[in-house]
Amino acid sequence: MESLIQTINKLQDVFAVVNENPIDLPQIIVVGCQSSGKSSVFENLVGKSFLPRGTGIVTRTPLILQMIKYTNKDREFMLKLTNNDNIKEWACFSHKPNVVFKNFDEVRQEIEKRTDILAGENKRITDKPIVLQVYNSLYTLTFVDLPGITKLSVGSQPKDIDEQIEKLIFKYAQQPNSIILAVVTANTDPATSESLKIAKQFDPEGARTIIVVTKLDLIDQGTIKDTTDFLSGKIILVKLGIIGVVNRSQKDINENKTMEETLRSETEFLRSNYPDIYKNHGYQVLAHVLRDILIKHIQKTIPTLYKNLQHTIIKLESELQTLKTPDCEIEFISELLTDISSSYCATVIGNRKDISNKTLVGGARIADIVNNQFVKEFMKVDPLHDLSDEDIRIKLLNTAGIKKSKSINQDAFEYLVRKQLENLIEPALSCVEIVRVEMMNIFDTIDQKYLDKLNRFPKLNIDIKNTLKKLLESKSKSTKKSIRSYIKTHQESLNITNPIFLSQLIKLSSMCQNPLKNNYSKHFDQARTIMYQTGKTQSDFSMLVKDIMTDLYKEILSGLSGTYTSDEICVQVQLQKHLIKNYFLFIRDILKDFVPNRINHKLINFIIKKFYKQLKTDVLIPFINIPPSKRMLVEEEGVAEERQRTELLLNAVNRAFKCLDEI
């Protein structure tokens, strides 16, 4: 079973080299406040005094402590390096794999040196770990010691030291495979313990938390019963248990009290003060429990770990493929232009296989924008915007001159309708602009793997986007021109006798419905009589009805002026107002469909058909014509480093997978 822990040790070593951990490793992380006795817990488990001590923050990097019950092979390797058969326990660092430390004071010095290298000498924190292997004859166990929690900066410590430490602890504690070893002091109220707050935050059920209670020898005798209840799990419930320990005092350290003597003193203290539960506490129990917990936890997580490593390998291989240096630049650009064009067009059309089911993208978003922005706003345009009755009256009088008539003033009507239809041009052209912007934005939503390739080469990226931008701007102008011309045609060529308009006019006007109802039968009978007398076909009959109906609408329209009882000019104003409004609504309904259709035809479909051809013309051909010596694709700054990082990480994950595969 110890081989399981050593396998995880190997994975920690592998990922420590690249300073990245792409998977959630099963491990015990140690969380506690400064001066909670965290260092003493480590040293008592190891049986050696080797950790840096002092005021303020001492632990400034994650310290991965791997206790290894050495094998004959391990001992032979040590002897090969030292030629010293008297060494019974020794240490090695992953950054100095071929250096054996037999003096644990030197281990402390090396931790201090390495910390200054990784974190700097200004008391800052780093997430770069130090990996320390301690070879012993007792057991195999692994911990990750994290900086002690603090709330105030002291001396030269950074002002945000509490935030730095919290961020680092959270990084480890939030991983589901981390066992949280929360160190609390016996003379601290559990309700205010910072380490227990963090454990509760990331493990609310207490399923992966074990509590270690230190400084049992420093509490008042009157609080022993409360402490007993705490140690027995009656105050806080965690599923992995609560274990009390007694650390070496500063006096013990100064007098070089051995670990063996410390363990004997601890046992006597626990037996005397906690006679009913002492067998469940102490460092020997803690080591056994932690080892048992870690092994079972590793066994539980191995299948998931194995699967995660496989997925990580596939992901990194894909990333590396994206980051690889092109063998043939022309072929690379040609294929990339084809892929980008195809993905762009598929996104617009809706043919993407990896299309989102969460948000609207591509053509669907354009359609949604047209329906929810353009159509709604377009239909809100007031037919009589900025046109008062007084404006109509003055125009009627000015166009009539010295004449007075009850008939419709066609000149005034045409002028005023043209003026009101002008209000439809701006929202119609705005729709073109909205679609143009969205067509440009769609480029950033194409297949991510093509964007990742393109992002490596800033100039190529700019050239491709500029090609699309120029194409969209050019076609937007011609589309706007076409739409403006179409609206101008309706402004210049009014057709007040259009049957559809007149039909809508009557439907929308209660004053017209009664005259139409009274006259409809008479005119329809007239048309049928003519058909029988002349022997015309059904098709001819339909045309005849259309002509007669048009005359009927004219008749009703002319009679509208008789429905007003006000003075003559007021009658004309109301009639003109009525006609202007209904003709405006008639044309607006036509444009509501025409504008989106014209945009689809003149802009969207054109881009879909011409994008790739334009890319070849503007990007590929100029690239081919550049002399080979000047044709080098220039990668974005940092891409080479990212490629190297990905290669190293992929190698590390492959090694980790091989280690796991050996179990």
The pLDDT of residue 565 is: 44
> Which of 113, 148, 177 represents a domain boundary (last residue)?
177
Residues 6+ apart with CB under 8 A from 436: 472, 473, 476, 603
Of 269, 270, 249, 248, the C-alpha closest to 47 is 248
Would you say residue 142 lies in a domain? yes
The pLDDT of residue 576 is: 75
For residue 407, the SS3 value is coil
Would you say residue 305 lies in a domain? no
Would you say residue 379 lies in a domain? yes
User: How do residues 211-220 score in pLDDT, each as one tens digit?
Assistant: 999 988 888 8
> Which of 153, 177, 201 represents a domain boundary (last residue)?
177
Q: Please state, in angstroms and rounded to a whole number, the distance separating the CA atoms of residues 282 and 222.
A: 21
Reduced 3-state DSSP string for 272-312? HHCCCCHHHCCHHHHHHHHHHHHHHHHHHHHHHHHHHHHHH
Of 52, 21, 20, the C-alpha closest to 38 is 52
The pLDDT of residue 55 is: 61
> Which of 121, 147, 177 represents a domain boundary (last residue)?
177
Do strands 209-214 and 242-244 pair parallel, antiparallel, or not at all (unpaired)? parallel
- How many domains does the chain fold into? 2
Q: Please state, in angstroms and rounded to a whole number, the distance separating the CA atoms of residues 262 and 48.
A: 11
Of 185, 143, 179, the C-alpha closest to 59 is 143
Burial category of 385 from C-beta neighbours within 10 Å (exposed 0-12, middle 13-18, buried 19 and up): exposed
Would you say residue 149 lies in a domain? yes
Would you list the DSSP string of 468-485?
Answer: HHHHHHHHHHHHHHHHHH
CATH number of the domain that residue 427 is part of: 1.20.120.1240
Q: Are 591 and 378 in contact (CB under 8 A)?
A: yes
H or E stretch at 268: helix 259-273
Angle between helices 605-615 and 458-492 (to 10 degrees): 150
Of 36, 9, 19, the C-alpha closest to 119 is 19
H or E stretch at 44: helix 38-46
Would you say residue 212 lies in a domain? no
Q: Are 500 and 509 in contact (CB under 8 A)?
A: no
Q: What is the pTM of this model?
A: 0.57
Would you say residue 4 lies in a domain? no
CATH number of the domain that residue 91 is part of: 3.40.50.300
Would you say residue 154 lies in a domain? yes
DSSP structural state of residue 358? S
Give the residue ranges of the chain where pLDDT is below 70: 1-4, 6-24, 54-57, 122, 154-156, 250, 253, 322-327, 356, 400, 402-408, 495-499, 502-569, 571, 627-639, 656, 659-663
Would you list the DSSP string of 338-352?
Answer: HHHHHHHHHHHHT--
**Conformational region of residue 233, where left means phi above 0, alpha means psi within -120 to 50, and beta covers everything else:** left
Q: Are 647 and 20 in contact (CB under 8 A)?
A: no
The pLDDT of residue 561 is: 46
Would you say residue 251 lies in a domain? no
Burial category of 428 from C-beta neighbours within 10 Å (exposed 0-12, middle 13-18, buried 19 and up): buried
User: How do residues 346-356 score in pLDDT, each as one tens digit?
Assistant: 988 888 777 76
Domain span holding position 400: 329-510+543-634
For residue 123, give both structure tokens. 């008391």
Q: Are 278 and 271 in contact (CB under 8 A)?
A: yes
Q: Are 433 and 473 in contact (CB under 8 A)?
A: no
Q: Please state, in angstroms and rounded to a whole number, the distance separating the CA atoms of residues 390 and 38.
A: 89
